[in-house]
Chains A and B, each alone.
Chain A
């Protein structure tokens, strides 16, 4: 199921030098100690451009060990460019075992999704974060946002949600939906769909967030309260679909719309490709009758 690779010569284990890893681990420890608080760290230049997950990679590099098994997803899929590249990066620099199976992974680095399969205490979820500051939309000054966090002045977060309701009749924010962590810090969950927000609450796995460009690390320790912001009369709600997954028939997973042809035919399939595959392996199926894409082959492009 998982693949073992040989590490390239000339690199320290997992690319970063040990001093840098210690520095990042110290930042992670602080982040875990203050759930939701953004800890600045000395982010390094990585051999990838910003926006490709440099924050997440540095966290993964700092916490990964020889016995770990790494899974990397991008928008729920293991087989997209970003995920493939990052997996290959750790294969080459650390000789890491990698997997596409959620259950088999000890570290899951993710861009924009949380796996559908509930995570366990012995797993770590590493998020790639483009904009760590949830207050940035309302307040451009960093000095001021830090003060607002320090003094717990979070009224402006609701101003944004108010605007949504005033304009669209409901809270139209669908991703990067702000949360309150441990009743203290307002935090951006990274651009995951708000569908995934409830999974963060009391999650048994450790959740780490890394922003490479802005050089911030934050964390949600296992079993921590995570509440999505809302109004009493407009409570938080997740997206719902009228369809089930066309491939596996799941009615409780986050669906992607796939356009099939120029006639406008389309289908909805699980965004979490591993989840979909596992279900189909168990004999579940959806309404799609066409030829099934060979996911097995695609997953092994790397």
Chain B
């Protein structure tokens, strides 16, 4: 897929982003550019502010300070907290995707797998049942779910399948930017590997930009081009993924890296 956009323009620009929960700090003064096709990993322990940051970035939690600028398909920049709520919600259904840690938060458990994938298409006006269904089938195939399961409820799926369904449901509208919060959390190691492999392939094939929050450094290494390390709401280190992990500079990053158990 050759993006129609000038690759030298960032897709997302974040400036001075802070969020406070009352007097409690969520994240502080975060800034970065994300370019088309880039995968940014945000790592840190629980409570380091990475999930708060992800919420601020993905337009669900207005930040206390700072701005998030998204460049649309025509190259026009939008401050996502200045545009109308309807435009913001539209963005989340079309240009963006959100893969939740718990598939229950990202799927409609009461309707079939096919309807889960079809929803975003119908939300943007698809009104041809046959067309919606065949698109749903092709996405099931892409995420390695047996086509025979298209009319089954997601509650009958395993955790890994639910997560893959969630990915299909998000990617069907060909988004440009995906937010993921611990996408492999709670999955068996063997299932994780398959999911990561699938994600790697899709990210490369579709030229997606991804912001992925994880506490798992192996996941971060496998998927992300760049890393931001967070501690107590601050970004303490950032850079090329392998450089941050192989030659960590900040004491906290060194602690994180040295704490990983190797099999």
Contact = CB atoms under 8 A, between A and B. Distances in A.
A156 B130 contact: no
A165 to B, nearest CB: 5
A233 B89 contact: no
Interface in B92-130: 93, 108, 110-112, 114-115, 118-120, 122-124, 127-130
Nearest to B114: A166
Chain B interface category by residue count: 20 to 34
Interface string A143-174: 00001000111011011101101110000000
Chain A interface category by residue count: 20 to 34
Q: Which of B93, B124, B127, B130 has the most CB of A within 10 A?
A: B127
B128 A232 contact: yes
B132 interface: yes
Interface in A190-236: 230-234
B128 A162 contact: no
Given A162-B114, A163-B111, A155 B89 contact: no
A155 B128 contact: no
A158 B132 CA distance: 11
A48 interface: no
B119 A155 contact: yes
A138 B112 contact: no
Contacts of B141: none
B151 interface: yes
Interface of B: 85-86, 89, 93, 108, 110-112, 114-115, 118-120, 122-124, 127-133, 150-151
8 contacts: A155-B120, A155-B122, A162-B111, A162-B132, A166-B114, A166-B150, A232-B128, A233-B128
Interface of A: 138, 147, 151-153, 155-156, 158-160, 162-163, 165-167, 230-234
Given A233-B130, A233-B131, 6 more contacts: A138-B108, A155-B122, A155-B123, A156-B119, A162-B111, A166-B133
